[in-house]
Amino acid sequence: MQLNIERVIETVLYVSDIERAAAFYQQVLKLPAMVANERFRAYNIGNQSVLLLFLEGDSVNGAHYPEGFIPPHDGSGPQHIGLAVSKEQLPLWEQHLTEQGIEIEGRMRWEQGGESLYFRDPDGHLLELVTPGIWANY
Protein backbone atom coordinates (compact mmCIF):
# COMPACT_ATOMS: atom_id res chain seq x y z
CA MET A 1 0.00 0.00 0.00
CA GLN A 2 1.29 3.45 -0.95
CA LEU A 3 1.57 6.07 1.81
CA ASN A 4 -0.45 9.25 1.17
CA ILE A 5 -0.92 12.54 2.99
CA GLU A 6 -4.56 13.49 2.41
CA ARG A 7 -4.68 17.15 3.54
CA VAL A 8 -3.60 19.61 6.21
CA ILE A 9 -5.85 19.21 9.26
CA GLU A 10 -4.45 21.92 11.55
CA THR A 11 -2.74 25.23 10.98
CA VAL A 12 -1.33 27.16 13.95
CA LEU A 13 -0.74 30.86 14.54
CA TYR A 14 0.87 32.10 17.73
CA VAL A 15 -0.63 35.24 19.28
CA SER A 16 0.37 37.60 22.08
CA ASP A 17 -3.16 38.21 23.41
CA ILE A 18 -5.53 35.26 23.11
CA GLU A 19 -8.69 37.26 23.89
CA ARG A 20 -7.87 39.99 21.34
CA ALA A 21 -7.08 37.36 18.71
CA ALA A 22 -10.26 35.42 19.52
CA ALA A 23 -12.36 38.55 19.09
CA PHE A 24 -10.79 39.19 15.68
CA TYR A 25 -11.20 35.65 14.35
CA GLN A 26 -14.73 35.24 15.69
CA GLN A 27 -16.14 38.71 15.04
CA VAL A 28 -14.25 39.86 11.95
CA LEU A 29 -13.66 36.54 10.17
CA LYS A 30 -16.84 34.92 11.53
CA LEU A 31 -15.08 31.64 12.40
CA PRO A 32 -16.98 29.26 14.69
CA ALA A 33 -15.02 28.35 17.83
CA MET A 34 -14.69 24.65 18.59
CA VAL A 35 -12.53 24.88 21.72
CA ALA A 36 -11.75 27.92 23.86
CA ASN A 37 -9.53 28.06 26.94
CA GLU A 38 -6.77 30.23 28.40
CA ARG A 39 -4.02 28.54 26.27
CA PHE A 40 -5.55 28.25 22.83
CA ARG A 41 -8.56 28.52 20.54
CA ALA A 42 -9.63 26.10 17.82
CA TYR A 43 -11.75 27.29 14.88
CA ASN A 44 -13.66 25.26 12.32
CA ILE A 45 -12.56 26.14 8.79
CA GLY A 46 -15.23 25.00 6.33
CA ASN A 47 -15.74 21.67 8.12
CA GLN A 48 -12.43 20.58 6.56
CA SER A 49 -9.63 21.90 8.73
CA VAL A 50 -8.87 23.61 12.02
CA LEU A 51 -7.16 26.94 12.72
CA LEU A 52 -5.46 26.89 16.10
CA LEU A 53 -4.44 30.07 17.91
CA PHE A 54 -1.89 29.44 20.66
CA LEU A 55 -0.66 31.95 23.17
CA GLU A 56 2.98 32.71 22.30
CA GLY A 57 5.42 30.93 24.58
CA ASP A 58 2.78 28.85 26.33
CA SER A 59 3.60 25.62 24.49
CA VAL A 60 7.41 25.66 24.66
CA ASN A 61 7.43 22.98 27.38
CA GLY A 62 4.90 20.73 25.72
CA ALA A 63 1.68 19.62 27.33
CA HIS A 64 1.18 16.57 29.55
CA TYR A 65 -2.26 15.02 29.69
CA PRO A 66 -3.51 11.74 31.19
CA GLU A 67 -3.98 10.54 27.60
CA GLY A 68 -0.48 11.44 26.41
CA PHE A 69 2.07 14.17 25.66
CA ILE A 70 2.14 16.91 23.01
CA PRO A 71 5.76 17.92 22.26
CA PRO A 72 6.93 21.55 22.52
CA HIS A 73 6.11 24.01 19.74
CA ASP A 74 6.05 27.78 19.30
CA GLY A 75 6.51 30.47 16.70
CA SER A 76 7.22 34.15 16.44
CA GLY A 77 7.07 36.88 13.87
CA PRO A 78 4.46 37.50 11.22
CA GLN A 79 3.27 34.28 9.62
CA HIS A 80 1.00 33.71 6.61
CA ILE A 81 -2.08 31.62 5.93
CA GLY A 82 -4.48 31.56 2.99
CA LEU A 83 -8.20 31.07 3.56
CA ALA A 84 -10.44 29.80 0.76
CA VAL A 85 -13.45 31.86 -0.32
CA SER A 86 -15.60 31.74 -3.45
CA LYS A 87 -15.06 34.25 -6.23
CA GLU A 88 -18.56 35.62 -5.53
CA GLN A 89 -17.78 36.12 -1.84
CA LEU A 90 -14.46 37.98 -2.30
CA PRO A 91 -16.01 41.45 -2.93
CA LEU A 92 -18.36 40.95 0.02
CA TRP A 93 -15.41 40.06 2.24
CA GLU A 94 -13.50 43.13 1.06
CA GLN A 95 -16.46 45.34 1.91
CA HIS A 96 -16.87 43.66 5.32
CA LEU A 97 -13.16 44.03 6.17
CA THR A 98 -13.20 47.69 5.14
CA GLU A 99 -16.27 48.29 7.31
CA GLN A 100 -14.43 46.66 10.21
CA GLY A 101 -11.51 49.07 9.75
CA ILE A 102 -9.17 46.38 8.41
CA GLU A 103 -6.62 47.72 5.92
CA ILE A 104 -6.33 45.79 2.65
CA GLU A 105 -2.57 45.59 2.06
CA GLY A 106 -2.52 43.89 -1.30
CA ARG A 107 -4.41 42.26 -4.12
CA MET A 108 -3.33 39.69 -6.65
CA ARG A 109 -4.85 38.25 -9.81
CA TRP A 110 -3.30 34.89 -10.62
CA GLU A 111 -2.63 33.50 -14.10
CA GLN A 112 -5.10 30.63 -13.60
CA GLY A 113 -7.93 33.06 -12.73
CA GLY A 114 -7.81 33.12 -8.94
CA GLU A 115 -7.70 36.28 -6.88
CA SER A 116 -6.19 37.06 -3.50
CA LEU A 117 -6.85 39.77 -0.95
CA TYR A 118 -4.23 40.39 1.77
CA PHE A 119 -4.66 41.91 5.25
CA ARG A 120 -3.31 41.44 8.78
CA ASP A 121 -4.68 40.20 12.08
CA PRO A 122 -3.97 42.07 15.35
CA ASP A 123 -0.66 40.17 15.78
CA GLY A 124 0.59 41.15 12.34
CA HIS A 125 0.06 37.76 10.69
CA LEU A 126 -0.59 38.10 6.97
CA LEU A 127 -3.97 36.65 6.08
CA GLU A 128 -5.02 35.94 2.52
CA LEU A 129 -8.53 35.37 1.25
CA VAL A 130 -8.08 33.39 -1.94
CA THR A 131 -10.47 32.20 -4.64
CA PRO A 132 -10.07 29.05 -6.75
CA GLY A 133 -7.57 29.30 -9.56
CA ILE A 134 -4.22 29.92 -7.88
CA TRP A 135 -2.84 26.38 -7.68
CA ALA A 136 -3.28 23.30 -9.84
CA ASN A 137 -5.29 21.73 -6.99
CA TYR A 138 -7.23 24.87 -6.05
Q: Evaluate if residue 101 carries a pLDDT over 90.
A: yes
- Could you tell me which CATH number the domain at 10-60+69-130 has? 3.10.180.10
Domain boundaries, the chain: 10-60+69-130
Q: CA-based diameter of the chain, in Å?
A: 51
Question: Exposed, middle or buried: residue 76 (CB in 10 Å: 0-12, 13-18, 19+)?
Answer: exposed
Query: DSSP assignment, residue 102?
Result: P
Q: What is the pTM of this model?
A: 0.92
**Which is nearest to 133 in space by CA: 107, 117, 115?**
115
Q: In what order do the strands lie in the sheet with 49-55?
A: 10-15, 49-55, 40-45, 33-36
Per residue in 17-62, pLDDT (tens digit) is 999 999 999 999 999 999 998 889 999 999 999 999 999 999 999 9
